[in-house]
Homo-oligomer: A and B are copies of this chain.
Amino acid sequence: MTAAKPTPPEAPRTTPLSYEQAGVNYDLIDPLKVSAQRAAAATAGHLAAHGFAEVAASRGESAYVIDVGPFYLASIVECLGSKAIVADEMAALTGRSWYDAIAQDTIAMAVNDLITVGATPLVVQAYWAAGGSDWFGDAARAQALVAGWKRACDSCGVAWGGGETPALAGIVEGGRIDLAASCTGLVNPKERLSVGDRLGAGDAIVLLDSSGIHANGLSLARKLVERLPQGWLTEVAPGLSYGAALLAPTVLYAPVTEALWRAGIAPHYCANITGHGWRKLLRHASALTYRIHTVPPVPPVLRFIRQHAGHDEREAYSTLNMGAGFALFVDAKDAERTVAVAQAQGVGARVAGVVEAGPKQLIIEPLGLTFGDDALQLR
């Protein structure tokens, strides 16, 4: 297990390409989010009429948790985002469907969020909203989607409950599909709950490897393709096209969290590294310092994006996963064993840092980067 050397800053070929230029403006979305979060929080009292209660600490976390007595119930809905467009572009260029890969991405978006609270994912529902009935007429593509979806369910040990396959001409663009998944699971036994109350100074930070871009940063990645001489087929490594590298499916981390529980390890907290990149390590509300001493190798496609978008390390690590797909905050005595359990499930892992008392900040020592409390505003 070797840590990657920090990538030396390289001169951007053209003007740097920011995430906002790529079309996502969080300033417009965030007021709605705040308003929705407040309204949502005000509905928690309804559970009392059923004899239940929410786990208040799960508000603002990656999955919502309620206490139903013998165990906790966790639920989530998540979407793939714009990665389907990359699959469509690559299908046109390569003549084969990539929907098996993005099916896994979609399930990963939901499952990897659900497991952060300590839940075992049990049921996935499919949401496949196409731009018209004719989307479903491409049998090879539809079969790839079904096959990839099932395989991802098999990998996570979840039951595929059913779903919805609407044809939404006029809402979803013609020839496109909006893929999402909902996931429901149980925290069972209840000691598995990891909403951060046990997170504290002295905990070790174990980072699990990503397989590439996963499903966050695709707006940027798609924008960037306009600058590439061979477009999607530009090589990011010998024999590996930019498009194919982007379409490496997201790692499913549920087998790791389940194996950890079987090994007697209950993480104190977990963070799924998605949008906002490594700033997600600051996800929990506590005032704690996260000091990273070892960074994982950067997947070639992310190194390539950083270089061609003209990003410095700060922008890259605050936008993309840069090789770390999931963070486990565990008791220091469990750190090395956590790595071993993950590796036994085929997922690269490393003890990357430590939680310290101190102001809320993320310090990535090998890169000389610090992100403060203001770097991530999710609540």
Binding site for B on A (CB under 8 A): 23-26, 28-29, 31-33, 35-37, 39-40, 42-44, 46-47, 49-50, 52, 54, 59, 64, 66, 68-71, 73, 75-79, 81-82, 84-85, 120, 122-123, 125-127, 129, 132-134, 136-137, 139, 142-143, 146-147, 149-150, 153-154, 157-173, 176-178, 180-182, 184, 186, 188, 219, 222
Contacts and interface: CB of A to CB of B under 8 A. Distances in A.
Contacts of A170: 82, 85, 173, 176, 222
A127 B158 CA distance: 21
A154 B222 CA distance: 41
B171 A123 contact: no
A177 B167 contact: no
Contacts of A180: 77, 127, 129, 164, 180
Contacts of A186: 50, 68, 73
A149 B79 contact: no
19 contacts: A23-B167, A31-B139, A35-B143, A36-B126, A43-B158, A50-B122, A50-B186, A64-B162, A68-B122, A73-B123, A73-B184, A75-B125, A77-B125, A77-B181, A78-B164, A129-B180, A170-B176, A171-B172, A171-B176
Contact of A40 (B42, B73, B150, B168): B150
A47 B159 contact: yes
Contacts of A49: 157
Given A28-B136, A136-B32, A178-B178, A123 B75 contact: yes
Nearest to A62: B162
Number of copies of this kind of chain in the complex: 2
A29 B75 contact: no
A152 to B, nearest CB: 10
B159 A43 contact: yes
A207 B179 CA distance: 34
B69 A153 contact: no
A69 B272 CA distance: 30
Given A46-B158, A162-B40, A168-B178, A127 B77 contact: yes
A66 B127 contact: no
B84 A171 contact: yes
Contact of A39 (B70, B133, B147, B167): B147
Contacts of A84: 171
Given A23-B133, A153-B46, A166-B81, A39 B160 contact: yes
A222 B47 CA distance: 38
Contact of A127 (B47, B54, B127): B127
A27 to B, nearest CB: 8
A184 to B, nearest CB: 5
A172 B169 contact: no
A23 B129 contact: no
Contact of A150 (B43, B77, B126, B162): B43
B123 A163 contact: no
A66 B125 contact: no
A56 to B, nearest CB: 11
Contacts of A137: 28
Contacts of A153: 43, 46
Contact of A163 (B77, B125, B222): B77
A134 B27 CA distance: 10
